[in-house]
């Protein structure tokens, strides 16, 4: 079986790599109750030829969420997996996200369709370095799984298969500014 990585490369599915990824996110959780190998075993049972690493992460997060009935630390692990997956899919620089929103071209009509005003775009670009450095993405890991899934459904936007975290732009009460 093969997995497609985020950069498009194909490599064999490896139990130890999945376990290592899940294990890295188990920091601070009760090792007597949270078992990365158990998560990996369930994830492997759902693997199919051509699965992507994004899908593996989603499956691992869902598996951990279902295991919350075993121990509440699994809810924390589920959130960490999902958030780590999001971070790997999103643009890291706030100013780049605003630029993508400003330069958005509607695929249906091919016309420029900015999703932020020119004024917002110009202010963000003028203060890009300060704004980019002010965002602390590690604070995302404070969400629990339910909270993260709500955030994902309500405040994240997809443009051309790229997930954008627009809550930092339009919803300051949800922002991760230091």
Q: How far apart, in whole angstroms, are the C-alpha atoms of residue 104 and residue 107? A: 9
**Residue 162, pLDDT score:** 53
User: Is the pLDDT reported for residue 61 higher than 90?
Assistant: yes
Q: Is 108 in the same domain as 135? A: yes
The residue ranges of DSSP E strands in 51-178, in sequence order, are 51-52, 156-159, 162-165
Q: How far apart, in whole angstroms, are the C-alpha atoms of residue 159 and residue 84? A: 20
Last residue in a domain, options 88, 111, 133: 88
- 121 domain residue, yes or no: yes
Confidence of residue 161 (pLDDT cuts 50, 70, 90): low
Return mean pLDDT, the chain.
Answer: 87
Residue 164 sits in which domain range? 92-143+159-174
Q: Is 68 in the same domain as 127? A: no
> For 25-56, what is each residue's pLDDT tens digit?
999 999 999 999 999 999 999 999 999 999 99
Q: How far apart, in whole angstroms, are the C-alpha atoms of residue 150 and residue 162? A: 19
**Cα three-residue angle 164-27-93, rounded to 5 degrees:** 25
Q: Is 101 in the same domain as 77? A: no
Residues whose CB falls within 8 Å of the CB of residue 91, separated by 6 or more in sequence, listed in order: 97, 100, 162, 164
- 122 domain residue, yes or no: yes
Highest mean pLDDT (candidates 75-79, 91-95, 113-117, 143-147): 75-79
- 154 domain residue, yes or no: no
Give Dmax (Cα) for the chain: 56
**Residue 171, pLDDT score:** 40
Q: Is 40 in the same domain as 103? A: no
**Residue 62, pLDDT score:** 97
Percent share of the chain, pLDDT over 90: 59
Last residue in a domain, options 66, 88, 110: 88
**Residue 92, pLDDT score:** 80
Read off the pTM.
0.81
More confident residue, 166 or 157: 157
> For 109-159, what is each residue's pLDDT tens digit?
999 999 889 999 999 999 999 988 888 888 888 888 998 898 888 777 666
Domain count, the chain: 2
**Residue 140, pLDDT score:** 85
Q: Is 19 in the same domain as 60? A: yes
Q: Is 38 in the same domain as 83? A: yes
- 114 domain residue, yes or no: yes
Q: Is 84 in the same domain as 104? A: no
């Amino acid at each position: 079986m093969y997995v497609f990585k985020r950069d498009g490369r194909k490599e064999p599915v490896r139990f130890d790599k999945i376990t290592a990824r899940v294990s890295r996110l188990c920091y601070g959780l009760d090792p007597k109750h949270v078992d990365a190998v158990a998560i990996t075993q369930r994830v492997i049972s759902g693997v199919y030829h051509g699965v992507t690493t994004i899908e593996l992460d989603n499956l691992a997060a869902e598996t951990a969420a279902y295991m919350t009935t075993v121990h509440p630390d699994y809810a924390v692990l589920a959130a960490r997996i999902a958030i780590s997956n999001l971070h790997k899919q999103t643009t890291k620089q706030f100013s780049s996200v605003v630029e993508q929103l400003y330069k958005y071209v509607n695929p249906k009509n091919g016309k420029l369709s900015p999703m932020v005003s020119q004024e917002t775009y110009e202010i963000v670009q003028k203060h890009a370095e300060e704004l980019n450095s002010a965002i602390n993405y590690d604070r995302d890991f404070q969400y629990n799984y339910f909270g993260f899934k709500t955030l994902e459904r309500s405040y994240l936007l997809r443009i051309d298969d790229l997930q954008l975290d627009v809550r930092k732009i339009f919803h300051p009460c949800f922002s991760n500014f230091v």
